[in-house]
Amino acid sequence: MKKKLLALLLALCMVFVLAACGSETDSDAETSGGDSGEASGDTIKIGMIGPQTGSNAAYGTSMLEGLQMTIDEINEAGGILGRQVELIATDDRGDATEAQNAFNNLISQGVTLIIGSATSGATSALTNLANEEGVVLITPSATADDITTEDDYVFRACFKDTLQGSIAAAYVEQAGITRVGTIACSADPYSSGLVNAFISACQERGIEVVEQQSTATMDAQDFTNQFTAMASADVDLVYAIYYYNAVGPFLVTQARAAGYDGIIMGADGYDGALDYVSEGADYSAFNDVIYTNHYDPSDTSAAVQDYVTAYSELYGTTPLCFAALASDCMMMLQTAIETAGTDEASAVRDALSDTSVTYEGVTGTFTLDESGTPIKGAAVISFAYDESVGGLDGLGTELVTTISSDEIA
Amino acid sequence: MKKTIRRGYLVNTAVLVAVYILCVVLANVFSEVSNFKLILTPSIWQCCYLIILAASLNLVLGFMGQLSLGHCGFMAIGAYTAALISLAFQRAGVYDEKSGIVFVLILFLCVICAGVLAAMFGVLVGIPALRLKGDYLAIITLGFGLIIVNVINNLPFAGQNGLAEGVASSSLYQNGLGFGTTAKVTYLWVALAVTIICVALMFMFIRSKYGRAVRAIRDDEIAASAAGINTGYYKVLTFAFSAFFAGIAGALYACSNSTLSTASFSFTNGSILNSTFVVVMVVLGGMGSLTGSIVSAVIMFVLNYQIANGSWVSSLPGFIQGVFTYPMLVYAIVLVIIIMFRPKGIFGTYEFSLLRTPGEFVRWIKGLGGKKKAKPEGKEAAAQ
Amino acid sequence: MGEFLQTLFVGLRLGSVYALIALGYTMVYGIIRLINFAHGDFIMVGGYTLIFTVPLMTAAGMPAWMAVIIAILVCALVGVGVELIAYRPVRKKGTNMTALITAIAMSLFLENLAQAIPAIGPNPMVAGTFFESGGFRVAGVTLDYTTIYTIAVSAVVMLLLYVFTQKTKMGRAMRCVSEDKSAAILMGISVNKTVLTTFAIGSGLAAVAALMYIAQYPSVYTTIGSLLGLKAFVAAVVGGIGIVPGAMLGGLVIGLVESFSTAYISSSLTDTFVFLILIIVLLIKPAGILGKNVGEKV
């Protein structure tokens, strides 16, 4: 008897909840950011979709932090077009279906300008929906080539894979290196996408890709075998695409221990790796580790320095590239809204589609191409260990060179 | 054919058709309402594949009593099969717009192919795996689930742009099905029809002589084989049957997502669609109750959706709201509580029946007011 | 030759960690026939405890690895807590299957709880070095000291566990409980106390495994235990679950398979090979390499 009672109760609950989910629209979502003192009808609503929990949570949380900081700054300065900006943040847990649900829910709340999501997998699930619904979607860090196409509502603030891959290949050519190897993770679109782009760019430039290795997961702990193979193939440079959480603690030290002495090259995922170097490790291993990045954090330009200082004052850490890119997304939106004179999605889209507009963000000065992807050069940055300073403090970054977008054409 | 059985078939078919028509009519009436389009329709799509997935696992877990922790692997096979076959048709120029009779035929062809391929892999996995049981089977199926995902990651035609333009990658960005918001409303009838047919087939399976044999194996394998049941045959058959429906669930998944990524079919991940949570749904609903699986799939979906997107969450007191930002934490607690207080799941082995349940319900309502004489629980389990 | 040796050493390095973790799994499984899915997450607990206590230890002038004592205590406490709060009530009421699902739920719970704690958060944390770097050089290839220590620690732990289960009163009680619970009760053995001790020891071992793991791979994150725990469990099954030396053997086998398949077959299909080995072993010898096949009683 109790069993049926429980079953009935649950069924009733379900019906109510379903009914509730069908009817509610007006109220705000769980996290409303900014100090939106004014009436909510008068604010510009910006939606954010990103992984706040789950295994990609680090990307989403720093996205949110950067975005929140920028929006607070905008609001303090009087908002956009005299209206305050309201951030509605949602959590997609790094999953495509959850991202779609969050996206649809944001639209039903009347949000038409959305920043997200962090990874290509989740973002690619949203692009068709954004075009169909006429909602502007700017992704800070989805790098897969097909995310943005011409004449659509999707834009981004980061490189696409082919661009970053060709930049790396251009650097390799400039440095006069002819034998390279690659290490990618087949289970991760960022890693495999970038390495595939690098390989095809190398073939165009006549650089020989001698050895290709891979790992099964991004969480792989041991790269020794892969680098042993590189050492015996006698390559001068290894293009290994992993994130800071593998590069800092063990990838580099294992490579050196495996007898590989050449250059290790990475991409923007290496940014911040020095914060994750194990104390007491062999710091000199980090010499000859270089990576392409959107910007040089040690850049003395005011935009970068102000941002890094403000961010570390607020959150106590140096910003990951996800935070800086999310802030740039907001900056792009701000510029577009001001140009359009309205926050209506189609007008904002037209403003963003204008390829002559120059954006000055934390991650560099850039214009957008026809598809809505930034045309920007990259900074090639190297880790360097200064033995005279010693210890963890002796590790730093230095700018090797900058490669402009003309050089890769 | 006995009179009651014939009456049962008639009533059940009639009601299923009526429910289906009602749903489709409702869908057409509300198709212009924005919340129906944006929220309810995608939700129904998600519920549909979750229901098929949970119910199909229940065949193995609840009715055969074998724990399989790699069920989403079969779903992955189905999803990729459907996406790639439809993509091949699209690239070949058979259809361009996602409409018209040709597209609908291809859609159903994809669904069937997804199921058949998954069932073939079900046999392949089942023959070696089902020689083991209990915890060993759990681990070996988990292993198979991981292998399937790992292999798909390395198939050059199943990544990036797919087929000839593909590169080995965990994401497939092109999908011949992949409905947008409007197409989801248009083809809602497909999701409903497929789900109703699948669930009806599973009900028929468990009530057939095959179903009885499978339950006999669950209750006592040695006694069952002594009674002349070919246990190996029935186990592999059920496993393949279950994989078939998981593959169909995968095809529906491919319809509702414009891109596929193998991370969605892993052992655990951020969403509720993974091998762990399918097991959770089955246990929550009751092992050995298809009704339970269906209800708990919907409950899990609604709970998950509401925790992530519901506006009422923001009106909760701060602490609970803080807990709700970590949904997996909530599910873990709910799961432990349910198992502690109701180890058999919500429905136990109770099955909904159109012929019996209304009568039972009336008696139960009467019983609430009158004397509290509980009916013995075993009776209804035996009666199905 | 050099490459072969290097691959061998990598295999040993991975395998020794798997072996240590597998010992904890095998211990718990041997007694209560439960795959403790949360064991991988005990490693995460141990790892974070180490990261937070190492500065205290070094400040007190003790070597960093001494922090493992605190980690063992914390992990044992968590293990006992999980047993008391979740596993025991479920075991009383439910079946094997529900117990297994509770274990999965506890694993989810611990992983996400850790992420919700502000001091931990979603970003990984990095540990310092525990042992001196360097190692023996054989034919131009280095076998680090850390690997040797890990193998030594696993061997010592294995021996201690073996002696403990064979010679002490508590150990005999454990074996008795695993063989026949009701007979154990009749013999005056407190089943609950025995199971609790098992959990304390098993979880304490997770802390030791965490120390050796982060000495090799100095990074801790909240989901560290999921794949690691899975592979270690596979190791325990391959060696013969419930058999202490089997865990050690299985760990090394899995480590070597992983390393050699990476180097010589395909580096992106490593997981496939690890699980293929499991499947092959289970099909040929369902009770594991060192296990004895016991026919089912009718």
User: Up-side HSE of residue B358: CA atoms within 13 Å toward CB?
Assistant: 3
Contact A240, A353 (CB under 8 A): no
Number of domains comprising chain C: 1
Q: Do C219 and A245 touch (CB under 8 A)?
A: yes
pLDDT of residue A94: 84
Contact A14, B306 (CB under 8 A): no
Q: Do A248 and C263 touch (CB under 8 A)?
A: no
User: Which stretches within A36-84 are classed as H helix?
Assistant: 57-76
Q: Is residue A346 part of a domain?
A: yes
For range B138-156, the mean pLDDT: 89
Instruction: For B347-361, give the DSSP string.
Output: STT----TTTHHHHH
Q: Does the pLDDT at position B334 exceed 90? A: no
pLDDT band at B383 (very low <50, low <70, confident <90, very high): very low
Q: Do B305 and A101 touch (CB under 8 A)?
A: yes
Number of domains comprising chain A: 2
Residues A80 and A222 in one domain: no
Residues A147 and A169 in one domain: no
Residues A365 and A403 in one domain: no
Q: Is residue A143 part of a domain?
A: yes
Q: Is residue C262 part of a domain?
A: no
Residues A166 and A133 in one domain: no
pLDDT of residue B240: 94
pLDDT of residue A409: 61
pLDDT of residue B312: 80
Length reported for chain B: 384
Count of C-beta atoms within a 10 Å radius of residue B5: 10
Q: Is residue C288 part of a domain?
A: no
Q: Does the pLDDT at position C152 exceed 60? A: yes
d(CA A102, CA A85): 20
For range C228-239, the mean pLDDT: 89
Picking from A217, A259, A278, the nearest residue to C126 by CB comes out as A278
Q: Is residue A32 part of a domain?
A: no
Does B176 contact A at CB distance below 8 Å?
no
Contact B134, B99 (CB under 8 A): no
Q: Is residue C102 part of a domain?
A: yes
Residues in chain B with CB shorter than 8 Å from the CB of C233 are 139
For residue A383 the two structure tokens come to: 């880790």
Q: Does the pLDDT at position B98 exceed 50? A: yes
Q: How high is the mean pLDDT of chain C?
A: 87
Q: Is residue A386 part of a domain?
A: yes
Domain that holds residue A100: 42-159+304-375
Q: Is residue A342 part of a domain?
A: yes
Q: Is residue A286 part of a domain?
A: yes
Give the distance from residue A222's alpha carbon to the nearest chain C alpha carbon, in angstroms: 8
Residues A143 and A189 in one domain: no
Residues A403 and A276 in one domain: yes
Domain that holds residue C184: 24-224
Q: Is residue C297 part of a domain?
A: no
Residues 6+ positions from C258 with CB-CB distance below 8 Å: C11, C14, C15, C231, C270, C273, C274
Assign residue A231 the CATH number of its domain: 3.40.50.2300
Residues A237 and A356 in one domain: no
* Side chain identity at residue B34, one-letter code: S
Residues in chain A with CB shorter than 8 Å from the CB of C141 are 259
Q: Is residue A33 part of a domain?
A: no
Q: Measured between alpha carbons, how far is residue B300 from residues A386, B51, B309 in Å?
A: 55, 10, 14
Q: Is A238 helix (H, G, I), strand (E, B) or coil?
A: strand
Count of C-beta atoms within a 10 Å radius of residue C122: 22
For range C70-78, the mean pLDDT: 94
Residues A393 and A356 in one domain: no
Q: Is residue A114 part of a domain?
A: yes
Instruction: For B218-277, give the DSSP string.
Output: HH-HHHHHHTT--HHHHHHHHHHHHHHHHHHHHHHHHHH-SSEEGGGGSSS-SSS-SHHH
Residues A209 and A286 in one domain: yes
Residues A340 and A271 in one domain: no
Residue-wise pLDDT for B285-309, tens only, equals 888 899 999 999 999 999 888 888 8
Q: Is residue C162 part of a domain?
A: yes
Residues A174 and A245 in one domain: yes
Residues 6+ positions from B362 with CB-CB distance below 8 Å: none
Indicate which of A55, A218, A222 best probes the interface with C, i.e. most C CBs within 10 Å of its own CB: A222
d(CA C155, CA C151): 6
- Weakest-pLDDT range from A169-173, B378-382, C12-16: B378-382
Residues in chain B with CB shorter than 8 Å from the CB of A22 are 35-36, 39-40
d(CA A373, CA A149): 9
Domain residue limits, chain B:
1-30, 41-271, 353-384
For residue B83 the two structure tokens come to: 């996406």
Q: Is C235 helix (H, G, I), strand (E, B) or coil?
A: helix
Indicate which of B269, B309, B372, B380 best probes the interface with A, i.e. most A CBs within 10 Å of its own CB: B309
Q: How high is the mean pLDDT of chain B?
A: 85
Element (H, E) at A353: helix A345-353
d(CA A212, CA C133): 29
Residues A234 and A367 in one domain: no
Does A119 contact C at CB distance below 8 Å?
no
pLDDT band at C294 (very low <50, low <70, confident <90, very high): low
* Side chain identity at residue C138, one-letter code: V
Percentage of chain C modeled with pLDDT above 70? 97
A-contacting residues in B 234-293 (Cβ below 8 Å): 256-259, 261-264, 269-271, 273
Give the distance from residue A63's alpha carbon to the nearest chain C alpha carbon, in angstroms: 13
pLDDT band at B384 (very low <50, low <70, confident <90, very high): very low
**Chains touching chain C at 3 or more Cβ pairs under 8 angstroms?**
A, B
Please give chain A's pLDDT, 409 residues, in tens: 454 445 445 444 444 444 444 333 333 333 333 343 444 458 899 999 999 887 788 889 889 999 999 999 999 998 899 899 999 999 888 888 899 999 999 998 889 999 988 888 889 889 989 998 899 999 998 888 888 887 789 999 988 888 889 889 999 998 989 999 999 988 888 888 899 899 999 999 889 999 999 888 888 888 988 998 998 889 999 999 998 888 888 899 889 888 899 999 999 888 888 888 888 888 888 988 999 988 776 777 788 888 888 999 998 888 888 899 999 999 999 999 999 988 899 999 999 998 888 888 888 888 898 888 888 888 899 988 888 887 888 888 888 888 877 776 6
User: Up-side HSE of residue B212: CA atoms within 13 Å toward CB?
Assistant: 8
For range B178-185, the mean pLDDT: 87
d(CA B126, CA B234): 11
Q: Which residue of A has its CA nearest to B311?
A: A29
Residues in chain B with CB shorter than 8 Å from the CB of C116 are 322-323, 325-326, 329
Residues in chain C with CB shorter than 8 Å from the CB of B135 are 29, 33, 35, 96, 100
Q: Among B171, C205, B162, which Cα is nearest to A94's? A: B171
Q: Is residue C279 part of a domain?
A: no
Give the distance from residue B129's alpha carbon to the nearest chain A alpha carbon, in angstroms: 24
